[in-house]
Amino acid sequence: MNPLMTLSKCLRFMGAMAATGVLVLATGCGGNDNGGGGGGGNQGFNKTSLKGQYAFTLRGIGTPDTINSYFFVEGGVFTADGNGNITSGTDDFVENFTAFSDSITGVYLINPDGSGTIQFNFPGGGASLYQITMSDVNHFYMEEADGFGTSGGSGEKQDTTAFSAIPSGTFVYQAHDLVAGAARVGAMSWAGGNITGTGDTLVSGVLLSPVSISGTAEVPGTSSGRGVVSITDDAGTSTYAYYVISSSKIRFLCGDAGALSIGQAEAQTGGPFSAASLSGNYAFGSAGETLNVQGIHSVGLFAADGGGNFTSGSFDTVQDGTPVTGMTLSGSVASTYTVAASGRAVATLNLSTGATNQKVMYLVSPSRAYFFVNDATNVEDGTLDKQSTTAFTNSSMKGQYALFMDGFDNNQTLPYRDRVGTWTPDGSGNVSTSYLASGYLPSVPPLGSTTVNNLSGTYSVPTNGRATASVTGLSNNLLMYMVSANSGYILQADDGVDIGGAFTIQTKP
């Protein structure tokens, strides 16, 4: 983000100087939140690993104003030269009901284990600093790490050959709006710059279905892959910046001053769909708002029989710092699902605690879906992925993974927390982790810090892929749902903590 937009010229200069200092310091070893030891061991990344054009999106908490409106969304594109320089880019940012779009340059560092820092420099002298961890040369997790806010998100390399035309085809989309308390999923057709589609919206606890979608898209910039699209739906007409990842994927950010919405869309394949399209074991992860921003995180899995029934499942959630873990599907009330030809699916999970969790989903393919939870109070959304096996073991989790987590920890002085780094299990139940934690308190003046953590612990992976881990100095209650040996979802299930995320195996350059 550019938290210095509304600050004085003096403070903007100080922020730029502070960010520059962090860029140097973040690459070395330092103090940690709760202890030391361990760390990543993968080698092979360097400045040349980040080379080309990338798009990114984040959401987080920044510098407050007099009405305490400090939540923000951010997205953009940048070009890295492979030698430590950001040569050009655009940063789109909405906070305090104000939208900005700035040109950027900057610098970056990449460490051998794939961790690193990126600094965006803005016109007029301001700067923002981000910590990243690369899973490969095309993907990275990302957090703000300059003390002026904290945010979580990710970035990925753009296919520049897709910049010459407006995206075309049927795309499944997902969007989350912090201001409106709304989650959206659906399917839309892009053809010749015209957009039509149908979706579902959960707004202030009310399910709107079906929602008609229409709009128009401009050709993306041939040098940036950034375009503008106008969408009309239940919220009226909104303007979005969209970032082309490839011909089959885009990211977007709402540029309206009164919205805080980011999202993504992927080309749909495998239709027309039916109940048989949802068959096998699936893992999922989700997050969202209760009365608190980032007040709920959930992970789980279920087995679909291809005929509209779930035969087994596991579910763990933390809401407002209260974990409820170890839930399974009810033995007395059936858990079922329906799938329409369009890929719209409704999954009703009746849990062993007596609670019901209903997900409104749109299938990207028979192996992947976007969803939100149909809940009268919370606004929670996420992704669902088919598991690659039904027989996980400790050796399924082996190697070095890029790790991302965000949320809040009320046991910390700076409660809003984001983490990016590495997770290195040995395949035999032992693990080390090295990550940078960004903490933030949006007081006046705001308080923020970043700390380097090198920790170690143990883990166990049962057959269904619901792994548990204990890391000294971090948590004894980490839950990790594996999609495959290469990726999965993670939840920290401690009292007073609401933090979750994902992990992806690193591939050396």
Q: What architecture is domain 394-505?
A: Beta Barrel (2.40)
CA distance 55 to 493: 32
From-to residues of CATH 2.40.128.120 in the chain:
9-157, 160-267, 275-386
Domain 9-157 = CATH 2.40.128.120: yes
Contact 169, 189 (CB under 8 A): yes
Alpha-carbon separation of residue 141 from 47, 263, 340, 401, 418 (angstroms)? 16, 16, 34, 11, 11
Calculate the average pLDDT of the chain. Answer: 90
pLDDT at 27 over 50: no
pLDDT at 109 over 90: yes
Alpha-carbon separation of residue 147 from 125, 215, 426, 452, 489 (angstroms)? 17, 39, 34, 14, 27
Contact 22, 438 (CB under 8 A): no
Percent of the chain with pLDDT over 90: 82
pLDDT of residue 69: 62
pLDDT at 375 over 50: yes
Lowest mean pLDDT segment, chosen from 40-54, 55-69, 289-303, 472-486: 55-69
pLDDT of residue 5: 33
For 229-243, how does the pLDDT look when each residue is reduced to its tens digit (9 = 90+)? 999 999 899 999 999
Lowest mean pLDDT segment, chosen from 62-76, 285-299, 395-409: 62-76
User: What topology does CATH give the domain 160-267?
Assistant: Lipocalin (2.40.128)
User: What topology does CATH give the domain 275-386?
Assistant: Lipocalin (2.40.128)
Global pTM reads: 0.93
**Closest to 79 (Cα-Cα) out of 175, 143, 135, 163:** 163
As a whole number of Å, the end-to-end CA separation of the chain is 28
Residue 197's contacts (CB-CB under 8 Å, 6 or more residues apart) are 186, 187, 188, 189, 212, 213, 214
Query: Taking residues 255-260, what's their average pLDDT?
Result: 87
Query: Taking residues 13-30, what's their average pLDDT?
Result: 36
